[in-house]
Amino acid sequence: MHAAHASERPFDPQQALRLGRETFEIESAALQRLGELLSGTFPDAVRAMLHTTGRVVVMGMGKSGHVGRKIAATLASTGTPALFVHPAEASHGDLGMVTPGDLVLAISNSGESAELIAILPVLRRLGTPLVAITAKPQSALAQHADIVLDCSVEREACPLNLAPTTSTTAQLALGDALAVALLDARGFRAEDFARSHPGGALGRKLLTHVSDVMRSGDELPRVGPQAGFGELMREMSAKGLGAAVIVDQVGHILGIFTDGDLRRRIENGADLRPCTAAQLMHPGPRTIRSDALAADAAALMETHGITSVLVAGDDALLLGVVHIRDLMRTKVI
């Protein structure tokens, strides 16, 4: 059994709630102040990072290092090539990861992290531009930097004013601000973001086209306009899409007949056995182009309460069918 510390007190849920709310208040006030402190050095930093011919190499020790890893990841996913290099490892060979044309973004609340300060002279000799995020404008880091971004806060959210809380939130927010300004300056679009996130939901929605998911060729349930009711039913059953497309001899779409159409006709007491496909079909079905996004097909289905959309080429030529199951299988929806 875990032994309690001598200073441990009975848990007070109200105290926990009070401290939680106080943390949000302290950190939100610090971020508001950070926005007011933002000066001309911020656009200077954005310009320098925008025009660098290499990558943004982010460095930081301890909690600043954890923040730095996230900033590097955010930059990389929003169009600015970036990576994180640990300052301590840099002194033992990883500094070779900094190449000509790179820019270093160094993060240190105190500006005096020994491992970071140790490699600053080397960066200077390499001619590597240095942008510093620090709360101490007179620190060694700030003195070596080409551009200094002030991330000072009045107090930590920690009741002891010791654990990095507000200060790391400020660093993280400043990194996000740089990433946002950079993606805007680059003209970065949602499609660009999707390309760097192909495995995510946004990537699937913005990178998957109708042509990637549609059924085509022998998988298409289609009959001619003179096909009888029996042939129509056999085609619908064989292809398992709950519908059959009626096409002319060339393959132009004339109409569609669905399970829903069948049910409604039977409920109305109609004898369908003597009917042809042309007599039963619903003309003017919903269609979409093969180069449209699969997400657009999903939206079309949702808007019109249907489970499949026909894919049409020029002159309403049938190219394929997208069924809702295809969109679910590829996780577009």
Q: Tens of pLDDT along 214-269?
A: 999 999 999 999 999 999 999 999 998 989 999 999 999 999 999 888 999 889 88
Phi-psi region of 80 (alpha: psi -120 to 50; beta: other; left: phi over 0): beta
pTM: 0.64
Whether residue 169 is predicted with pLDDT greater than 50 in this model: the reply is: yes
Q: What is the pLDDT of residue 327?
A: 85
Mean pLDDT of 57-72: 95
Q: Where are the domains of the chain?
A: 13-188, 210-329
CATH code assigned to 13-188:
3.40.50.10490
* Domain 210-329 is found in CATH 1.10.275.10: no
Could you give the CA distance from residue 22 to residue 271 in angstroms, rounded to a whole number?
73
Which distant-in-sequence residues (6+ apart) come within 8 Å of 73 by Cβ? 82, 84
Structure tokens at 147: 């551009």
For 118-160, how does the pLDDT look when each residue is reduced to its tens digit (9 = 90+)? 999 889 888 999 999 999 999 999 999 999 999 999 999 988 8
Q: What is the pLDDT of residue 205?
A: 61
Mean pLDDT of 274-287: 92
Structure tokens at 224: 């001619």
Could you give the CA distance from residue 69 to residue 61 in angstroms, rounded to a whole number?
10
In the sheet that holds 253-258, the strands lie side by side as 222-223, 243-247, 253-258, 282-283
